[in-house]
Amino acid sequence: MKKIALLILAIAMLPLASASPIHEWERNVTYRNITLHAPAVAEGSNGYVGVVMDINVTMMNGSGNVFVVTSPLTQLDMQGSARLAVDVAGMVTGRDVGEYDFLFQVESDAPVVGGPSAGGIMTMGAICLLMNLEPRDDMIMTGMINPDGSIGPVGGILPKGEAAAEAGMHYFLIPKGQSIEYQTVAERSGPFVFYHKVPVNVTQELYDNYGLIVKEVEDINEALAYFTNYSFKEETSTMPVITADYYQDIMKPLAEHVVQEANESYERAHFSFERTYIPTGYPWNNPRGRVSNSLSTAKDALDDAELALDNAFYYYSISKAFQSKINSLFVIHACQYYNGTDIETIYHNVSAAVSDAMQAAAETPINGLVSLQCVGAAQQRACDAERHLNTSARDPLDRLYDLSYAMERSGTVYWWLNLSTHFNESYEINETGISGLAEKYYDYAQSIVSYADILSEETGYSRQFVTNAYESLNDAQSNKETLSAASLFDSLEAIANANLAIEMIGASGDMLQDKMNRSDQMASYAIQRARNTSIEPILAVSYYEFGKSFELQDVVSTLTYYKYAYMIANMLYLSRGYQPKELQKTEAVLSEGDGNAHTF
């Protein structure tokens, strides 16, 4: 009872919380407003039916907020679509959307089925407001917006088109490749009912029945031309990315040095393996077989590294040599273990190396945008080494492999730290500036990763990209306070994976090749644009080259590294401020169902 009385007395002595006072102020606000229409599907008594939503967009000077009001209420991804729409509008126009607030008011006669299909038209509205453009009022569009500006696939094209025609629209823009839609048809044969899908030419169907002209569009810039007769000049780079003399002069000697180290490490591993007894164990647990396989893997990676070096793929050569060194060191560590060296002794040696590498990465000063990349990459690799050092694998060989990886990864820290000394530094940046960039991109990464997660859950696509994005996001959060450069690049990788998670929804076949080509152009242009402002995007170039090496083998890996390259080069360019892009007059042509063409 006495304890309770003391507790009550203590609570009574606490100061009472009070609401903050009301603040009032005045500021000048400039508004722009536009209303566009978007087709959607709603659940009717006899299945899904098309409806037309009104999307009213208001832009005002502000601080980068995006608000969404829906009537009736819709599903959660509308907020994510609006946020992404504004971000893409900023990318396409070259305007800093952080200087504005956007309000999207979405109204429909019926609750629409969830899905991001209004993302494209939301982006169109934001672009028109940023550029003060008047869009056509007899055109409607469906399609999700991808982070790279492309228009992603959606469902319900036919009922959406029917609703658009009934609302008086003359033109209907749909995502590329969706002119054919499949409908389920039931056929009865005696007492049995069979269901099968039949293709429907949406373009012909809507034109024949309603006179609605349907046009596929690949990206938001193409759609802008149809809506406004204006578009932005296509951004392409004609300059080589990985053949600049100074890049070869610096990266080639490093690649030669690392390949030589890998050769020497392999020879030591082969020598040790031939002279060490390693038990064969059992078919399901064969230590000698596993170590032998690692020796073969080391040799294969070494051969790839030498071939890449001969063909001037220097970063790829270094990466393959690194993989060879990991496997060779694992063989050496395994031989030491079976010759009587305990794992704790090996751990002690690796731990000291990792600790030294982490200290070097944390203490190396960052003076500009070149050293920001090199030190940031070094910090990321030091963290990677530390993670593998501290794994808790029970199997001795698993533990030895993690230790081998940690040791070799700690060595790559010094490669990156030394690289920055070979390039001319550009644009000073201090710790406050780095922390600000890290915070900015971390906040955006949180938003886009959450949105990608929602879309992935809804569609069943892209879970691996989402998983990768969350891993990078967690790393960014862990490093924010102590290793802000690493945190910045962790966030960029999280954004890149989230972008890919969104862009890969429904992608297959030729679409993958198109996406790879688009990502290639975006990355190479971003790299060239950074160079034009005297910033050498060495990390972006390295990732671009690594992605290029996978083009004929692994489209997904190529896309991933192209996206990394784009994100890094674009961040470097934007760190110097936004450069508004100029519009150009465009004559967009739509073909009717009967083959006639109209220019408008």
In a shared domain, residues 357 and 391: yes
DSSP per-residue letters across 523-539: HHHHHHHHHHTT---HH
In a domain, 237, yes or no: no
What is the pTM (predicted TM-score) of this model?
0.85
Contact 65, 87 (CB under 8 A): no
The CATH code of the domain that includes 74 is 3.30.230.10
Indicate whether 84 and 212 sit together in one domain. yes
274 and 369 share a domain? yes
Measured in whole angstroms, the distance separating CA 28 from the mean position of its chain's CA atoms is: 37
Domain count for the chain, please give it.
Answer: 3
Co-location of 391 and 494 in the same domain? no
Listed in sequence order, the residues at least 6 apart from 35 whose beta carbon sits closer than 8 Å to its beta carbon are 54, 55, 56, 57
Beta strands in 108-225 (DSSP E): 139-141, 144-145, 151-152, 171-175, 180-189, 192-201, 213-217
Q: Indicate the residue among 202, 232, 262 that finishes a domain.
A: 232
In a domain, 84, yes or no: yes
Determine the pLDDT at residue 94. 94
Pick the last residue of a domain from 232, 256, 284: 232
Q: Is 18 domain-assigned? A: no
Q: Which residue has the tokens 């906040």?
A: 443
What letter represents residue 450's amino acid?
A: S
Structure confidence at residue 10 (pLDDT): 47
> Does 598 fall in a domain?
no
Whether 262 maps to a domain, the answer reads yes
- The answer to whether residues 263 and 289 belong to one domain is yes
Is 587 part of a structural domain of the chain? no
Residues 402 and 486 in one domain: no
* Pairing relationship of beta strands 192-201 and 213-217 according to DSSP bridges: unpaired
User: Could you give the CA distance from residue 389 to residue 404 in angstroms, rounded to a whole number?
Assistant: 9
What CA–CA distance (Å, rounded) separates 345 from 200?
A: 69
Q: Are residues 171 and 66 in the same domain?
A: yes
Same domain for 252 and 206, yes or no, is no
Contact 364, 376 (CB under 8 A): no
Q: How far apart are CA 104 and CA 122, in angstroms?
A: 8
Residue with tokens 């590498």: 357
Look at residue 17 in the predicted model and tell me its pLDDT.
Answer: 56
d(CA 466, CA 200): 34
Same domain for 435 and 408: no
Range of the domain at 557: 431-574
Predicted local confidence at residue 3, as pLDDT: 45
Q: Are residues 438 and 383 in the same domain?
A: no
Compute the distance between CA of residue 600 and CA of residue 596 in angstroms, rounded to an integer.
Answer: 13
Domain boundary among 184, 208, 232: 232
Q: Is the peptide bond before 72 cis (omega within 30 degrees of 0)?
A: yes
Output the pLDDT for position 30: 87
Domain shared by 99 and 52, yes or no: yes
Tell me, yes or no, whether 305 and 213 share the same domain: no
Give the tens place of pLDDT for each residue, 532-574: 998 999 999 999 999 998 988 899 999 999 999 999 999 999 9
Sign of CA dihedral 340, 344, 348, 353: positive
Pick out the chain residues at pLDDT < 70: 1-18, 45, 73-77, 113-115, 242-246, 589-600
Residue 595 domain-assigned (yes or no): no
Q: Is 523 part of a structural domain of the chain?
A: yes
Residue 1: its pLDDT value, please? 41
Measure the CA–CA gap between 68 and 80, rounded to whole angstroms.
10
Structure confidence at residue 590 (pLDDT): 66
